[in-house]
């Protein structure tokens, strides 16, 4: 068959997708998608047909985390983690800088939104029974994400360095210091000493903007990888097969021997 | 990409084309090192380096060219010595090397072990100080300077005075502390004071006087190292915590609410008629009142931590203060 001459549209599409193809070619291996293919698979993969808006809560929580990360990076450009200037820098961000009140407000209220969405997401997973085999590990990772999210809120609460922040942190750290045996030592490590001081603020700032977000990002990555790897679960009342490549209802394939979905058991999940 | 070759990477080891082991390159390297050092610091070292490099270089060349010169190689025909168990084990599953053949520890295994071992060692060397830097500073060199809170005459007998000061003035307001100080008069010939910390022993909030602070009579005094503010009080009937409702009597004993022991106290001493506050310590309870009080003392514990009774067993060791 003779090759047809590429149209102008083909040429434009080729030029536009050239960078993506370039990237894909250099990140793929025989039989495996590269970066672009992986993203396309992640975005357009098949999911059970009868999932609902409840299944979007995880994505909503991820969006809230991204908002927190972006606004946090911007706030870090203006915030000064020093006892003598922390409160003043917060006031400067809120009152003087253009849209500073908005970005700080997004970060302040977004923190609560993130935690609320995590709880709603967990509630959906729990009620759908989606924490059961083979998704137990993802549930455990989700619980760790929730714990780290709350810890992130605890460390961030001190940063405005006002009376509320100070005394809430005094009480919070002392609560943890009442843990048996290691509690007193944990309290001193958190404070950077026997009492809250300049080191405490810097320590909390480091934990709030580097350590915990880094751990959260890693766990979220793992969480997403497992979601893609195992697939989205159908609602408990669904007749549909779930998994990475959901199959037809069991009734339609009665008597047929179907191969197990990749990386999962054959039973309905 | 080159096609993969299914060959034994160790093939050829120990065959005759390899030079025999020799120690001369080590001496040659030392000589070269001396030359470089000598170029920088001393001509004598330079000359010594040249001599060492020349001698060992010649010996190395002599050794390496022995087969080409027709000289006899060092005898290796003696029966192989029995190998240690580890070396034999390395080849346990491999092909039989045959009688008389030299069994070598595979080079890849050696490199694998040294890479992992050295990597682990470097990891420990790098991580240990970083971890120590992260964790240890809160426990060492904490210290507690002595605070001059004024002349003892500034404290009227049997009345609580609210004294505020900075524990470490260089740290600023965050180090501000408050003590409730009562002059108990004389115990024998020595002045007696009750100095209570205002830190609630429930969770660390600041307890307040259950009485009337006489703000109009506030006095501020600049001492050598601090600025002390003294506020007299009237009819102080004890202390209360605004956070969770803990209540204490005038000796600091818990009377109600969630606190687990009596209020902490400051050590004090009187030097040249001035009252100096030292470290804080914990108190389980106080029997009696004023100068006659019997105080059950313990090393300083954090808020919420029992110091006596079976619950105290939960906190057997306290961090250094």
Say whether pLDDT at A250 is over 60: no
pLDDT at B254 over 50: yes
B229 lies in some domain? yes
Record: contact B138-A170, CB cut-off 8 A:
no
Output phi, psi for B69, to 5 deg: -85, -5
Q: What mean pLDDT is reported for chain B? A: 85
Considering B71, B97, B112, which residue would you say is the last residue of a domain? B71
Cβ neighbours around B284 below 10 Å, total: 19
- Residues A36-45 have a mean pLDDT of 90
- Mutation target vs B (from A84, A163, A174; most B CBs, 10 A cutoff): A174
Report the gap between the CA of A27 and the closest CA in chain B (Å).
Answer: 16
Tell me which of B34, B53, B71 is where a domain ends.
B71
Strands, E assignment, chain B: 147-151, 160-166, 176-187, 190-197, 208-209, 212-213, 219-222, 227-234, 239-240, 247-248, 254-256, 262-271, 274-287, 294-298
In this prediction, residue A233 carries a pLDDT of 85
User: How far is CA B122 from each of CA A102, B107, B133, B135, rounded to the nearest angstrom?
Assistant: 47, 22, 17, 20
pLDDT in tens, B261-308: 999 999 999 999 999 999 999 999 999 999 999 999 999 999 999 999
In a domain, B132, yes or no: no
Does the residue B125 lie in any domain? no
pTM, rounded to two decimals: 0.75
Angle, alpha carbons B305-B310-B313 (nearest 5°): 60
pLDDT the model gives residue B3 = 42
Q: Which residues of B touch A196 (CB under 8 A)?
A: 174
CA distances from A28 to A14, A17, A25, A38 (A): 19, 16, 6, 9
What is the token pair recorded at A123? 């509630």
How many separate domains does chain B show?
A: 2
Contacts of B172 in chain A (CB under 8 A): 83-84, 198
Check residue A248 and give its pLDDT: 55
**Residues B302, A177: C-beta atoms closer than 8 Å:** yes
pLDDT in tens, A123-161: 999 999 999 999 999 999 999 999 999 999 999 999 999
Mean pLDDT throughout A43-63?
91
In this predicted structure, the answer to whether residue A185 has a pLDDT above a threshold of 90 is: yes
Residue pair B199/B239 in contact by the 8 Å Cβ criterion:
no
The residue extents of the domains of chain A are: 53-231
User: What is the mean predicted confidence (pLDDT) over A201-215?
Assistant: 97
> Going by CATH, does the domain composed of A53-231 fall within 1.20.1640.10?
no
Contact yes or no for B57/B31 (Cβ under 8 A): yes
Among B138, B173, B318, the residue with its CB nearest the CB of A193 is B138
Residues in chain A: 269
DSSP string, B65-78: THHHHTPPPPP--S
One domain, residues B310 and B192: yes
Q: pLDDT tens-digit profile of B26-53?
A: 999 999 999 999 999 888 999 999 999 9
Instruction: From chain B, pick out residues whose CB is under 8 angstroms from the CB of A167.
Output: 205, 243
Same domain? For B177 and B302 the reply is yes
B26-35 long-range contacts (CB < 8 A, ≥24 apart) are B26/B56, B27/B52, B27/B55, B27/B56, B27/B59, B28/B52, B28/B53, B28/B56, B28/B57, B28/B60, B30/B56, B31/B55, B31/B56, B31/B57
pLDDT score of B160? 95
What integer pLDDT is reported at residue B95 of this predicted model? 52
pLDDT of residue A235: 87
Q: Is the minimum CB–CB distance between A246 and chain B shorter than 8 Å?
A: no
Could you tell me if residue B24 is inside a domain? yes
Tell me what pLDDT residue A6 has.
85
Q: What is the DSSP string of B73-98?
A: PPP--SPPPPPPHHHHHHTTTS----
pLDDT digits (tens, 9 = 90+) for B108-145: 888 999 999 999 999 999 999 999 998 998 888 777 88
Does one domain contain both B154 and B51? no
* B321 with A194: Cβ contact below 8 A: yes
Q: Which CATH number do you get for residue B151?
A: 2.102.10.10
- Classify residue B320: in a domain, yes or no: no
Query: Within a 10 A sphere around the Cβ of A200, how many other Cβ atoms?
Result: 22
**Helix, strand or coil for residue B56?**
helix
User: Cα distance from A207 to chain B (closest Cα, Å)?
Assistant: 12
* Within a domain: B275: yes
**Checking DSSP bridges between strand B227-234 and strand B212-213, what pairing results, if any?**
antiparallel
Q: Is residue B234 part of a domain?
A: yes
Share of chain A above pLDDT 90, in %: 74
Residue B118 maps to a domain: no
Residue ending a domain, choose from B48, B71, B94 = B71
Residue A188 with chain B: CB contacts under 8 Å: 138-139, 319
Cβ atoms of B197 and B263 closer than 8 Å:
yes
- Which chain A residues touch B299 with a CB distance below 8 Å? none
Q: What DSSP assignment string belongs to chain A?
A: -PPPPPPHHHHHHHHHHHHHHHHHHHH-BTTB--HHHHHHHHHH----TT--GGGGHHHHHHHHHHHHHHHHHHHHTT---STTTHHHHHHIIIIISTTHHHHHHHHHHHHHHHHHHHHHHHHHHHHTTTTSTT-HHHHHHHHHHHHHHHHHHHHHHTTT-SHHHHHHHHHHHHHHHTSTTTHHHHHHHHHTSSS--HHHHHHHHHIIIIIHHHHHHHHHHHHHHHHHHH-BPPPTT--S--BSS----GGGGTT---PPPTTS-SS--
- Percent of chain B at pLDDT exceeding 90: 64
Average pLDDT over residues A221-244: 85
Q: Which residue has the tokens 């404070």?
A: A191
Chain B residue numbers touching A195 (CB-CB < 8 A): 167, 175
Which residue's structure tokens are 């000493």? A193
Chain A nearest CA to B123, separation (Å): 20
To the nearest whole Å, the CA of B204 is away from the closest chain A CA by 6
Domain residue limits at B18 = 14-71
């Amino acid at each position: 068959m003779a090759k047809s001459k590429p149209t102008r549209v083909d040429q434009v599409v080729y030029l536009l997708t050239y960078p993506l193809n370039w990237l894909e070619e250099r990140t793929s291996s025989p039989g495996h998608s590269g970066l672009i293919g992986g993203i396309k698979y992640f975005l357009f993969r098949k999911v059970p047909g009868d999932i609902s808006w409840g299944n979007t809560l995880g994505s909503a929580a991820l969006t809230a985390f991204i908002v927190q990360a972006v606004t946090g990076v911007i706030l870090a450009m203006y915030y000064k983690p020093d006892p003598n200037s922390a409160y003043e820098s917060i006031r400067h961000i809120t009152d003087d800088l253009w849209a500073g009140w908005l970005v700080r407000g997004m970060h302040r209220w977004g923190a609560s939104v993130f935690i609320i969405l995590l709880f709603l997401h967990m509630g959906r997973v729990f009620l759908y029974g989606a924490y059961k085999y083979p998704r137990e590990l993802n549930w455990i990772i989700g619980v760790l994400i929730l714990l780290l999210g709350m810890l992130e809120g605890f460390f961030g609460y001190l940063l405005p360095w006002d009376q509320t922040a100070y005394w809430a942190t005094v009480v919070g750290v002392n609560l943890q210091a009442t843990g048996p045996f290691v509690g007193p030592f944990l309290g001193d490590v958190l404070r950077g000493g026997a009492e809250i001081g300049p080191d405490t603020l810097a320590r909390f700032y480091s934990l709030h903007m580097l350590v915990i977000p880094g751990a959260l990002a890693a766990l979220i990555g793992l969480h997403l990888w497992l979601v893609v790897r195992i697939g989205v679960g159908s609602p408990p009342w669904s007749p549909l097969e779930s998994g990475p490549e959901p199959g037809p209802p069991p009734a339609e394939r009665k008597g047929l021997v179907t191969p197990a979905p990749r990386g999962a058991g054959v039973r309905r999940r | 990409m080159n096609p993969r070759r299914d060959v034994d990477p160790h093939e050829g080891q120990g065959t005759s084309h390899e030079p025999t082991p020799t120690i001369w390159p080590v001496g040659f390297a030392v000589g070269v090192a001396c030359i470089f050092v000598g170029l920088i610091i001393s001509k004598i070292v330079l000359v010594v380096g040249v001599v060492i490099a020349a001698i060992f270089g010649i010996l190395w060349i002599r050794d390496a060219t022995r087969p080409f010169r027709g000289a006899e190689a060092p005898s290796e025909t003696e029966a192989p010595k029995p190998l240690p168990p580890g070396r034999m084990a390395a080849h346990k599953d491999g092909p039989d090397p045959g009688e008389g053949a030299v069994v070598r520890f595979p080079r890849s295994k050696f490199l694998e072990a040294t890479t992992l071992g050295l990597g682990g060692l470097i990891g420990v060397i790098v991580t240990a100080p970083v971890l120590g830097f992260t964790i240890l500073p809160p426990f060492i060199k904490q210290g507690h300077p002595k605070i001059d809170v004024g002349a003892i005459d500034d404290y009227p007998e049997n009345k609580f005075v609210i004294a505020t000061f900075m524990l470490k003035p260089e740290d600023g307001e965050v180090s501000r502390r408050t003590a409730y100080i009562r002059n108990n008069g004389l115990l024998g010939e020595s002045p007696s004071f009750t100095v209570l910390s205002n830190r609630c022993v429930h969770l660390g909030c600041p307890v307040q006087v259950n009485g009337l602070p006489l703000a109009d009579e506030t006095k501020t005094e600049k001492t050598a190292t601090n600025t002390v503010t003294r506020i007299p009080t009237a009819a102080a009937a004890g202390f209360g915590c605004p956070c969770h409702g803990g209540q204490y009597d005038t000796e600091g004993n818990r009377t109600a609410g969630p606190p687990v022991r009596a209020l902490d106290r400051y050590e004090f001493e009187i030097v040249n008629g001035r009252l100096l506050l030292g470290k804080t310590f914990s108190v389980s309870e106080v029997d009696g009142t004023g100068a006659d009080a019997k105080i059950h003392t313990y090393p300083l514990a954090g808020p919420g931590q029992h110091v006596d009774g079976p619950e105290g067993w939960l906190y057997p060791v306290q961090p250094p203060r």
